[in-house]
Amino acid sequence: MPDAEFEELLARAAEEGAKRALADVGLDGSEAAMDVRDLRGLLASLRFVRRTAVQTTVHLITTGVILALLAGIALKLRVFGSGG
C-alpha cells in the first residue's frame, strides 16, 4: 500500500472516529458548537464561583482574627469596665 493511500485511509479513520466519539457524548448535531460554548461558559462560571468562595472565606477569617485582637486589646486596656 502506497504511503499516500495509507495516510488518506488513516485520516478518514481518524475523522470517523472523532465523529463517533462526539456522537457518543451528544455533540454531533447542528448546535454542537453552541453546546461547547455553553459548557465553556459554565466552566468559567464555576471557576469564578470557586475563586469568590475562597476569597470570601479568607476575608471572613481575617475579619474574625482582627475583631478578636481588638476585643483582647480592649479588655487589656480596660475599656469595658473593670476588665480584670
> What pLDDT is stored for residue 78 in this prediction?
82
8 Å CB contact between 75 and 83: yes
> What pLDDT is stored for residue 16 in this prediction?
95
Instruction: Report pLDDT digits (tens) over 23-64.
Output: 898 888 888 889 889 999 999 999 999 999 999 999 999 999
Through-space distance between the first and last CA atoms of the chain, rounded to whole angstroms: 96
> How many helices (H) and strands (E) are present in the chain, helices listed first?
2, 0
Please compute the mean of the pLDDT values over residues 51-78 and round it to a whole number.
Answer: 95
> What pLDDT is stored for residue 82 in this prediction?
60
> What pLDDT is stored for residue 1 in this prediction?
84
8 Å CB contact between 43 and 37: no
With vertex at residue 16, the alpha carbon angle to CA 32 and CA 7, rounded to the nearest 5 degrees, is: 130
8 Å CB contact between 75 and 84: yes
